[in-house]
Amino acid sequence: MAILYILQVIYINREIAMATRFTKSMARNIFFGGSLFFFLLFLALTFDTNQKLPKRDNSQNLTASVIHGKKLWETNNCIGCHTLLGEGAYFAPELGNVYVRRGPDFIKAWIKAQPTGAPGRRQMPQFNFTEQELEDLVQFLKYTSEINTNNWPPNIEG
């Protein structure tokens, strides 16, 4: 149905090129009708997505610690260098699966050891987290790694 509609618009576009009786007000009506139709379709898909999310989004594990970890993730702008489920900056490793790749102890030790100060190498700032904050971040990364991402990333390297 949607495809037919697009084909029809493409056809009409050809008509314009041929300067037939396709008028501006017809074009406007197709614009309003088409945009409205596809926006409503988008809302319907969004509604359906929301129905299906609880089985996929690991929300049953949204503990107070995870929620605080997410806030730490945000207020330290981690996304400014890293990707999380592939979204963010491409300067530093993917962290959506870092819990699986490195494990909790390595993650904490790594964050505490920054910056490395190795000349010419990319540097991560020191954030001076408390032990509790480190634990919350790890819990957030654990929760993230358990979201059903349709099997992304392709391998453990992210």
- CA triple 113-115-116, angle to 5 deg: 80
- Tell me the per-residue interface mask from 73 to 112 with another protein, x by CB under 8 A, - otherwise: xxxxxxxxx-xxxxxxxxxxxx------------------
DSSP states of 94-119:
B-TTHHHHH-HHHHHHHHHH-----T
Residue 139 as a binder of another protein (CB under 8 A): the answer is: no
Measured CA to CA, the distance from residue 136 to residue 15 in angstroms comes to 60
Three-state secondary-structure class, residue 88: strand
Q: Using CB under 8 A, which of 18, 21, 105, 157 touches another protein?
A: 157
Question: Which member of 4, 47, 131, 154 binds another protein (CB under 8 A)?
Answer: 154
Considering only 21, 121, 130, 131, the residue that binds another protein (CB under 8 A) is: 121
Among 1, 4, 23, 47, binds another protein (CB under 8 A): 23
Instruction: State which of positions 28-67 bind another protein (CB under 8 A).
Output: 28, 30-31, 34-35, 37-39, 41-42, 45-46, 48-50, 52-53, 56-59, 62, 66-67
- Structure tokens of 57? 């989004």
